[in-house]
Structure 1
Amino acid sequence: MGTAERVVEVLVELADTLVTPFDVIEMLHVLVERSVELLAVDAAGLVIADSCGALQVVAASSEEALVLDLLELQGKEGGPCVLCFTTGEQQVNLGAAVVSARWPEFAAAALAAGFGSVHSLPLRLRDDVLGAVNLYAAAEVRLSAEDVAVGQALADMATIAMLQERAVREQEVVAQQLQMALSSRIVIEQAKGVLAERYGLGVEESFGVLRTHARRTGQRLTDVARSVAVGGELPLGIVRP
């Protein structure tokens, strides 16, 4: 099987991981494993930013790659993937001399682990950078333009998948919030009706009673309305028959 055919197979495999139920971690592990298979590298690691913007290691093809990624994130000088994430730009074909000059601590650890070159590709869609993929090679191998394009295509697919998963979760949250708001509105209307009937109040006045009681007692408006509409409890301290 030729390289092009295998690349197509891998893209299909990654696409299959997006089928519900979507497992982000499984998809990212497939990404690092296939990056090693398709490119002239010996190990790969992947980092993404958490909700606070701090990079975290989420997948690695080997223990050596995992340790190097952790060292890079925990060290003061950073490294290729930190720079890649910060700038959103590819950091490729970085040999031992270049890495040593920029990040001596990371370079020493990489050499000790048996890696002579490193490459980092961003998980990026336009201006949204989610993380980076680190690619480690034992020799000072230069990735061809075709290799870089393949690696970036894999990273781009992972980025789109994660952004899509985030959008779905956000839509679900919004839908839940809207449903809660609708349910709360119904309960409030019911409570207004109870107060209006019991005390002969107008609709607006009944709503004012509910809000005032909620503020004075430190309760949520919906909870006060529910206690009136469902539990039959009335704010007698405010409204007297």
Structure 2
Amino acid sequence: MQARLVDALFAITTQLVEDSDGASVLAQITRSCVDLLGASAAGIILADPRGGLAVLTASDEESRLVELLQQQLDEGPCVESIKTGKTVEVPDLAVEPERWPRFSASVAASDYHAILSVPVLLQGRPIGGLNVLFAETTSFSEYQRRLGSVFAALAALHLSREDGEHRKARAVEQSLSLLNDRVRVEHALGMVAGARGVSIDTARVVLERYARSHALPLGEVAHRLTSRQLDLGTLDVEGA
């Protein structure tokens, strides 16, 4: 299982780094869901910015039918997951048919008996949903939940990436920003170490602790220190 997981993640991330077409990346994600989550099928729905939902990919035509049913009826676990931004688990579709009456009636004739629906989130907002379908009633494990979230995150990463020259330019811009942040952090570490009489390692602990407690990126804390917006004396070096 571990080797298969590594192989799947390698295949997906390689396609993300390379300029692979969108359909092949999403198809790889749904195939990996089926293989590694013990599912029968998987599909991805996108929340259309113009309103409504659109089916992006499905591991087979039957799962595509289920996705389309959710899209057309505006109800079902994946639709609910997209609306709420939370994972929806249905271990047994037969248990509570009143939850989604039209969807339950439509899917009753299919071979699927359990569904795990995970929101595809971008900056905390749902832009779609990953639907994982099971032929048997299923008591979902933490492994399945977390791996489902990983695949959903990879789908979000793919859907938000830039291609071609824009992507290369963005990568260069990001690299320069990271290098600037590193220089600024090193400067800030030297300031803390010198002013407070601590080692560089201790200064890093102090800055990282301040960043966490104030929900700030380390680079932003360093910027505030080096630009004199943050007083060195306010930093707590005790216990660092």
Per-residue CA shift, 1:43-68, capped at 9, x if unaligned?
11111122314210010111111011
Question: For 1:160-199, what aligned pairs fall within 5 Å after superposition?
Answer: 160-165=157-162
Change (3 A) 1:67 1:127: same
Partner residue of 1:29?
Answer: 27
Q: CA deviation at 1:34?
A: 0.9
Mapping of 1:36-51 within 5 angstroms?
36-51=34-49
**What is the CA–CA distance in structure 2 between the aligned matches of 1:93 and 1:54, rounded to whole Å?**
23
User: 1:149 and 1:19 mapped to 2: Cα distance?
Assistant: 23
Number of residue-to-residue matches in the alignment: 169
1:171 CA drift (Å) = 10
Q: Percent identity?
A: 30
Q: CA RMSD in A?
A: 2.3
Q: Give the deviation of 1:136 after TM superposition.
A: 1.0
Cα offset, 1:125, TM superposition:
3.2
Going from structure 1 to structure 2, the CA distance change for 1:143 and 1:51 (only over 3 Å counts) comes to same
Alignment partners' CA distance in 2, 1:53 and 1:25: 22
In 1, the alpha carbon distance for the partners of 2:162 and 2:79 equals 24
Greater Cα offset, 95-104 or 133-142: 95-104
Per the normalisation by structure 1, the TM-score is: 0.64
Q: 2:133 aligns with which of 132, 136, 139?
A: 136
After the TM superposition, which parts of structure 1 deviate over 4 Å for at least 4 consecutive aligned residues? 168-172
- Provide the C-alpha distance between the structure 2 equivalents of 1:171 and 1:82, rounded to a whole number of angstroms: 35
Give matches, 1:195-214, under 5 Å.
none
Counterpart residue identity of residue 95, structure 1: D
Structure whose alpha-carbon radius of gyration is higher: 1
Give the aligned residue type for 2:162.
E
Which SS does the other structure have where 2:16 is aligned?
Answer: coil
After TM superposition, list the pairs within 5 Å mapping 1:1-241 onto structure 2: 3-76=1-74, 78-165=75-162
Residues 1:126 and 1:116: Cα distance change in structure 2 (over 3 Å): same
Asked if 2 retains the 8 angstrom alpha-carbon contact of 1:48 and 1:58, the reply is yes
Taking the aligned partners of 1:24 and 1:9, their CA distance within structure 2 comes to: 19
Pair 1:99–1:32, CA change in 2 (3 A):
farther
Amino acid at match of 1:93: V
TM-score by length of 2: 0.64
